[in-house]
Amino acid sequence: MLRAEIHGHRGARGLWPENTLPGLSRTMELGVHALELDVALTADRRLVLTHDLTVSAVTSADTAPATPDDPLYPYVGRPINALTQAQLRTLDVGVRLPRHPDDTFARTQQPIPGTRMPTLGAVLGLVNAYEADSVRLHVELKSDPTRPELSADPVEFAEAVVEELDRHGRLDNAAILSFDWRVIGAAAELAPGTPRFALIENDTLHWHGCLGDDLPAAARAAGATTLSPEHVMVDEELMAQADAAELPVAVWTVNDHLLASQMLDLGVAGIVTDYPDRMRELWEKYGLPLPKPVSPLRPSR
């Protein structure tokens, strides 16, 4: 029987502000197998949710300096690792500010003004408050080996994430993801029982040197337990190699039924999507087991 999972990308970026507590809450209440989010380390070594290593002008807006006459203000455009959690908490991350009028997510995403950038600890507290044991937390560690000035040491970074997951009792119901396979290797040493997703795309393959023609085998050698490629890389040959390497494949980012159907027919184990609602519709058509929505913490109106 065909089985596959729905992974909510940055929560559900197509529906609600990405990497935010309200967005993640609503995604759990919609129903996903896994909740994917991105983290980076601040100047004061706090783990915060952000997809970018610099403060994005698309997902973040300055409101006020953290302290009067702060020389680093405004914060948009600054490196995340140059700012403290207190400085980053002043940003409004609840309204998408597209650079182009045809930004799809700005049209479909419900704005939630006043939303602040959360820590990983706050997210873990939220998930535990929901008692969302049916939802696996997929934590992507943002790291770019070609830009070390913006990136944390991969071992230190992996240690910080593993410690935070362990502190909240989530190591057994989480996964660690990264395009930087040094992070994957460090996580394999630190938390061998926690799944590890080797993210790949054509633009960053050079990060890893010469990988040869068998990417799944290279990912497995790097410490991965799942291969997570961009959808344009997925074909029958890659799936056969992944099968030989005994690695399931979770493909990203898939937002329409036709492409998702093609991926399911190829045998992927998971689909990462900005629109979990659309994937739930497709899962019903395929007769696939649907992830159960998590009961809301707040009363419905």
Residue tagged 């994957």 (tokens): 184
Q: For residue 223, what are its two tokens?
A: 């410490």
Answer for the pair 173, 133: CB distance below 8 angstroms, yes or no.
yes
Choose among 52, 29, 31, 38: nearest CA to 9.
38
Coil vs helix vs strand at 56: coil
Percent of the chain topping pLDDT 70:
98
216-248 residue pLDDT tens: 999 999 999 999 999 999 999 999 999 999 999
Asked if 46 contacts 160 with a C-beta cutoff of 8 angstroms, the reply is: no
- Summarised one tens digit per residue, pLDDT across range 176-206 is 999 999 999 999 999 999 999 999 999 999 9
**pLDDT for 13 beyond 80:** yes
21/124 Cα distance (integer angstroms): 10
8 Å CB contact between 253 and 273: yes
Sorted by where each begins, the domain ranges of the chain are 5-286
- Cβ density class 69-92: b for 16+ within 10 Å, e for less: eeeebebbebbbbebbbebbbbbb
Residues 6+ apart with CB under 8 A from 240: none
pLDDT tens by residue, 145-167? 999 999 999 999 999 999 999 99
2 pLDDT tier (thresholds 50, 70, 90): low
C-alpha to C-alpha distance for 14 and 136, rounded to whole angstroms: 20
Q: What is the mean pLDDT of residues 103-129?
A: 97
Q: What is the band of 71 on the pLDDT scale with cuts at 50, 70, 90?
A: very high
Pairwise CA distance, residues 89 & 71, whole Å: 16
Question: In one letter, which amino acid is 168?
Answer: H
Separation of alpha carbons 181 and 193, rounded Å: 17
- pLDDT at 301 > cutoff 80: no
Closest residue by Cα to residue 35 from 49, 53, 55: 49
Task: Quickly state the pLDDT bin for 1 (edges 50, 70, 90).
Answer: very low
Cα gap 71→169, rounded to integer Å: 39
The answer to whether the beta carbons of residues 130 and 124 sit under 8 Å apart is no
DSSP-derived secondary structure for 80-105: GGGS-HHHHTTSB-SS---SSTT-HH
Gap between the Cα atoms of 231 and 251, Å rounded: 6
Q: Report the C-alpha gap between 16 and 22 in whole angstroms.
A: 8
Residues 6+ apart with CB under 8 A from 244: 216, 217
Distance CA(257)–CA(254), nearest Å, equals 8
- Find the mean pLDDT for residues 79-85: 98
Supply the DSSP string of 202-213, one letter for each residue.
Answer: GGGGGGGS---S
- What proportion of the chain, given as a percentage, has pLDDT over 90? 94
- CATH of 5-286 among 3.40.50.2300, 1.10.260.30, 1.10.3720.10, 3.20.20.190: 3.20.20.190
Residue pair 53/148 in contact by the 8 Å Cβ criterion:
no
